[in-house]
């Protein structure tokens, strides 16, 4: 196992040694340069896991992407008008602010609520908002720890949230907003969650543990841990229940695991940093974001061949498909402050890009804030939510039909790049 890049990227946080102490800072980063090897990194990080639960407040940018007429309420900034840039097809609705380090986001299946995780946040690991107004419904304390990723069960009755610092998964009743079970991965720095298509099994990738934990949701028991490539992140379980695809961040690996045997094989290596997976099994394809290469890859499930789907902006991040699978949404964090420093705002804004999955053409583009990270699309396809991680903010957009997007001549795709520089 390579220690070098893990020194930079561990568990959605950076690792920095200053004055003999270990300092952890939020969010993943990618750097072309690797620092010197730290042979005792696992042990030092393990010693910090139980204590790293302090409130994280990210730096604010020196300026906003654009001046907006707003009315401010507690925890919410409502947009009144004037935010959409000329030629933009998707429409900005409102922002939700004062959300420290928003890492993951998910719409409730009925589209009425938006659940947002907050990384390494002691007071509230998850916040629930009204998806139509941005009003806060409830803060949920995850036993004095933060949240990383969040997913809903297919029926919308339960929510699953990963917690990095304790390597646990919280099951929450979506109606009462109360924790019902806590699942122990028995690993280290848990990240992405994936449900089997029948809803009976939960998979959790463990960034430091280099494995995936598999749970039986009927009993809550840990069935096994599956060894993976270095630094596993994104997951995709096929609907036939036979295979699990794993995105490896360390070397840009795509791994296919046979769930009958637990054995995996690497089907592709980019040398970048694979991050997130979205799938369309009706078309027989997976889309995988590569943070190191600035592209989205396309995997043909029939033969596991891999081709480049689309080039993106710098630091490709979370991806999501529209419900009809015709549009792929991609968040890009943008250029880092320096080659190694990604935990303060950089010289460019991030972006959110919309691609036509049939042609690979860009349908529209949004100039985001500092480090767009979390991203989700409502199940009716009408709402898009993404976070500006270093701005402590969630942006909500209205998304028109595919036909409107397709007829929009690329929206702002030909002009937005000139606006990324601050």
Q: Where is pLDDT greater, at 54 or 179?
A: 179
The token duo for 282 is 């009706």
Neighbours of 62 (CB within 10 A): 8
The token duo for 354 is 């919309």
- Using the predicted structure, report yes or no on whether residue 291 has a pLDDT greater than 50: yes
- Using the predicted structure, report yes or no on whether residue 32 has a pLDDT greater than 50: no
d(CA 6, CA 231): 8
Please name the residues in contact with 68: beta carbons below 8 A apart, sequence gap of 6 or more.
77, 79, 80, 82, 83, 95
Please report the pLDDT score of residue 83 as a whole number: 62
d(CA 383, CA 377): 6
The percent of residues in the chain predicted with pLDDT above 90, rounded, is: 78
Helix (H, G, I), strand (E, B) or coil at 359: coil
Helix (H, G, I), strand (E, B) or coil at 97: coil
Please report the pLDDT score of residue 43 as a whole number: 31
Please report the pLDDT score of residue 398 as a whole number: 97
Please report the pLDDT score of residue 107 as a whole number: 98
Please report the pLDDT score of residue 342 as a whole number: 87
408-420 pLDDT, tens per residue?
Answer: 999 999 999 999 9
pTM of the model: 0.86
Residue with tokens 């690979």: 360
**What does the mean pLDDT of the chain come to?**
85
Please report the pLDDT score of residue 340 as a whole number: 81
Tell me the domains of the chain and their CATH numbers.
4-48 (no CATH), 70-419 (2.130.10.10)
Please report the pLDDT score of residue 341 as a whole number: 87
d(CA 335, CA 135): 32
Q: Where is pLDDT greater, at 50 or 300?
A: 300
Phi-psi region of 392 (alpha: psi -120 to 50; beta: other; left: phi over 0): left
- Using the predicted structure, report yes or no on whether residue 249 has a pLDDT greater than 90: yes
Count of residues in the chain: 422
* Sheet hosting strand 136-140, strand order edge to edge: 102-107, 113-118, 126-130, 136-140
């Amino acid at each position: 196992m390579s220690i070098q890049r893990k020194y930079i990227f561990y568990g959605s946080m950076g690792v920095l040694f200053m004055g003999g102490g270990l300092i952890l800072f939020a969010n993943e980063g990618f750097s072309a340069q690797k620092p010197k090897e730290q042979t005792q990194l696992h042990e030092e990080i393990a010693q910090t896991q139980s204590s790293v639960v302090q409130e994280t407040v990210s730096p604010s940018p020196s300026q906003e992407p654009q001046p907006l007429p707003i009315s401010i309420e507690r925890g919410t900034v409502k947009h009144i008008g004037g935010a959409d840039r000329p030629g933009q097809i998707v429409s900005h609705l409102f922002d939700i602010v004062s959300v420290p380090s928003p890492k993951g986001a998910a719409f409730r299946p009925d589209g009425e609520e938006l659940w947002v995780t907050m990384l390494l946040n002691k007071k509230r690991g998850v916040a629930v908002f009204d998806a139509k107004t941005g009003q806060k419904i409830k803060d949920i304390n995850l036993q004095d720890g933060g949240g990383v990723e969040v997913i809903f069960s297919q029926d919308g009755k339960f929510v699953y949230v990963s917690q990095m610092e304790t390597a646990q998964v919280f099951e929450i009743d979506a109606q009462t907003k109360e924790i019902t079970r806590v699942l122990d991965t028995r690993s280290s720095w848990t990240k992405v969650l994936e449900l089997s298509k029948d809803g009976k099994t939960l998979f959790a990738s463990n960034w430091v543990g280099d494995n995936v934990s598999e749970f039986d949701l009927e009993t809550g028991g840990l069935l096994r841990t599956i060894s993976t490539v270095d630094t596993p992140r994104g997951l995709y379980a096929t609907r036939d229940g036979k295979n699990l695809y794993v995105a490896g961040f360390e070397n840009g690996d795509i791994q296919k695991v046979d769930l009958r045997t637990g054995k995996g094989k690497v089907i592709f290596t980019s040398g970048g940093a694979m991050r997130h997976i979205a799938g369309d099994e009706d078309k027989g394809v997976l889309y995988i974001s590569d943070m190191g290469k600035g592209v989205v890859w396309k995997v043909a499930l029939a033969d596991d061949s891999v081709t480049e789907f689309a080039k993106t902006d710098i630091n490709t991040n979370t991806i999501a498909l529209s419900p009809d699978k015709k549009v792929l949404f991609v968040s890009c964090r943008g250029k880092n402050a320096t080659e190694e420093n990604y935990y303060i705002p950089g010289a460019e804004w991030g972006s959110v890009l919309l691609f036509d999955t049939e042609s690979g053409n860009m349908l529209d583009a949004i100039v985001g804030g500092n480090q767009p990270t979390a991203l989700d699309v409502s199940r009716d396809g009408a709402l898009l939510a993404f976070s500006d991680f270093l701005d402590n903010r969630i942006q909500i957009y209205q998304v028109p039909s595919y036909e409107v997007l397709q007829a929009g001549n690329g929206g702002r795709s030909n002009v937005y790049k000139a606006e990324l520089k601050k």
